Structure 1
Amino acid sequence: MILLIDVFYNADFKPIYQRPSELFRRPKKRKYMKSENQDSLFLSRRRLLQVGGAMLLTPATAWAGAQREETLADDVASVMRSSINSASPARLVFADSREGERWLAAMSSRLARFIPDEGERRRLLVNIQYESSRAGLNTQVILGLIEVESAFRQYAISGVGARGLMQVMPFWKNYIGNPSHNLFDIRTNLRYGCTILRHYNNIEKGNIVRALARFNGSLGSNKYPNAVLGAWRNRWQWG
């Protein structure tokens, strides 16, 4: 079960998380005379808690999990680190620019249910298409993965600490990146997420089902891969 907790920043730009216990702290008991309205009062409070919980726990993130920490061979870590630290501006990667614009318009329309602002949608889609293509991954599957992992919420954080759009575990910064990297940054999160999934895909010799299960930390179960591939088939197929 994953909590999506809004992240705020203080004056030093350090993240401040609001804990669920602070959101739903049980009120102190009060002494008062029992009245005919008492039962309805308790019922109203219960309903508020249920609605609040439903807002935090969305079906789209029910499968979100966590990558497992593992020892990387030096050459593998070096390749992944090089991928993470390579800086280049995001752009659409299509042989035909007109096809790229058609793709962007179609995907933006589909993404509107998650992100209302058109400019924000288009910027995000360009980054997703560029980073997935750069990693040699199917962009449409990555869209399905992000829907399942975070419902396209930039500041999503799981109960085990996975962060951002692709729910990247912070320990990866020590292995293939830099401790100062901000996993809530869209470009950084996508770069890490796509690099990690490509690593798992290499381990599984192109078996995307097993690679997705590794990404979720649920190797041996097909529930998460089926959720991602289902989102891809239902909403994100192209061409």
Structure 2
Amino acid sequence: MFGTLRNKFQSVQEGISASIRGLSVAESSKPKKLTNIRNVNYNAGADVLHHFQMRWNELHELAEENAEKAQQADALIASIHDQLEYEWNNVTQLNNTLAAIPKINNDIQNLMDQIGTLQELFEEVETSLFQLQDLNETLDLQSRQLDHRFQLALYKEKKLSELDSTRAKLAGKHSEKVLQHELKQQQILKERQETFEEAFKKELEEYKTTGIIPKLGTFQKGPSLEEVDLDVADSSDLDEFLKS
């Protein structure tokens, strides 16, 4: 708007300047008269023209000043418009945000409900983890018990094997000692039997010679009749004794 007004002032000024220049050229082209017939002041028009030209210059300066101020006002108005538009956008965004508050509250409530559900799930998972830990400890204990039982069974089997081996060794030693004892007893019995046979032969010879049965001396306690083993192969002396 101010730019259009300024252009109009400039066009009017240019028109007036052109008219003045045309008038000056027309006056200069007329032949000068040497005498002033009517006693006319020719400089009066120039003073009027100068007066209006000075006024026009003042108007032109004022118009330029007004145009500059109009530009400043236009820039200020544009700045104010931008600021107002920015504030309006902020207010619109604030209104939209305020309008979205109920939805945000609903979303927050839904999130709180989900958090509560997750908390319950976490508690269930924690309880399950504790139960799993107890189960793992129980299984570990049972595994150690089975391992100990297996080790005990192996140890028992080893000791039984050692016991059987020891029994076999002891049985062998016992059998050997029993055999040695029996051999020793048989040797003792054999020696006693030989002693009794010699004594019997002496008594038999003495009886044949004297006809008197000699008295038996005191002997140490010997084996019983069941333990005496007579030599049946050489029984001629016994037969002669029984026949006499």
| Bigger proportion of residues as helix | 2
Common fold: TM-score over 0.5 = no
Q: Which has the larger radius of gyration?
A: 2
Q: TM-score range by the shorter chain?
A: under 0.3
TM-score, normalised to structure 1, is 0.21
